[in-house]
A = this chain, B = another copy of it.
Amino acid sequence: MMFIDVLIKKIKEKNNPSVVGLDPKIEYIPSFIKEEAFKKQGKTLKGAANAIFTFNKYIIDAVYDIVPAVKPQLAYYEMYGLEGLKAFYETCRYAKEKGLLVIADGKRNDIGSTAESYSAAFLGKTKIEDTEEAAFDVDALTVNPYLGIDGIKPFIEDCDKYNKGIFILVKTSNKSSGQFQDIITETGKSMYEIVAQHIEEWGRDLKGEYGYSSVGAVVGATYPNQAKILRKILKSAYILVPGYGAQGGTAKDVASSFNPDGLGAIVNASRSIMCAYKSERWKEKYTEEKFYEASRAEALRMKEDINGVLS
């Protein structure tokens, strides 16, 4: 089944259009997990990476039955070196075993021949003479559009071949996203509108049974006005919405990225779920030892919060 159809079915099944970001800095992890890992492997990249994988497993166990997908952010694994990447790999495997879709947030991009290799790494398979093997084998990947269609096409081809998805950056959630993305071009359109127009075209042949395409877009929750414009341009692209929670985006803000059918967007929260046990909202109710229960409570609260503005 096409990636986008699997995603929508899981969203409907769980009545939840949100995704848990797994961006685990060692600072986020409860002491009891860290101390055990450090006792075994010292305060090293290896110790940190092992703590991260344990932490991720707790989070996944706490939310797998209520969310459709997780979104590990590659930067937070690469910073712990090879051991960190092993934790990324194992996190992806564990999440898939639990029936979750895995969206790797890597914002990869390059010229065509090199984009082919990135796509093989995450979505497709790597040829080794007369055989082939999947390297990371996630369900979807975020991709940067700056190099144009050459750098996007290899990913789209693998989406088609292996039932995978991509989400292409359009309007990012950060403060300076306007520096280049909001620039008005000579046609009067902004850069992010032009990128969106291309995405809509690029996804034309990958539409599934709900009319949405496996070629999606990234539009930050922190820009609801731009999201309204983009929702109209991106008729068939699913929108991945970062920026809810810790970055300041609210349920009302993310509502702009949805269509009247209640579909069309999936909202990510990372820190607000991972670090729920430290938050004003939950820290009285849950101890550090039960941090995962706080994560579940926050994931459920987020679901209700978003569904509340959609109905």
Residue of B nearest to A220 (CB): B111
Please report which residues of chain A, range 233-254, place their CB below 8 angstroms from some CB of chain B when the two chains form the complex.
242, 247
- Also in contact, A112 and B174, with CB within 8 A (given A81-B136, A82-B86, A128-B47): yes
Interface residues on A, range: 35 or more
Please report which residues of chain A, range 101-146, place their CB below 8 angstroms from some CB of chain B when the two chains form the complex.
105, 107-112, 114-115, 117-118, 120-122, 126-131, 133, 135-136, 144-146
Q: Within 8 Å CB of A82, what residues of B?
A: 82, 85-86, 89
| Copies in the assembly, this chain | 2
Q: List 13 contacting pairs A-B, 8 Å CB cutoff, sorted by A.
A: A78-B122, A79-B126, A80-B126, A81-B121, A84-B135, A109-B109, A111-B247, A148-B178, A148-B180, A148-B181, A179-B198, A184-B185, A186-B188
Binding site for B on A (CB under 8 A): 23, 25-27, 34, 38, 43-45, 47-48, 73, 75-76, 78-82, 84-86, 89, 105, 107-112, 114-115, 117-118, 120-122, 126-131, 133, 135-136, 144-151, 169, 172-181, 183-186, 188, 191, 194-195, 198, 242, 247
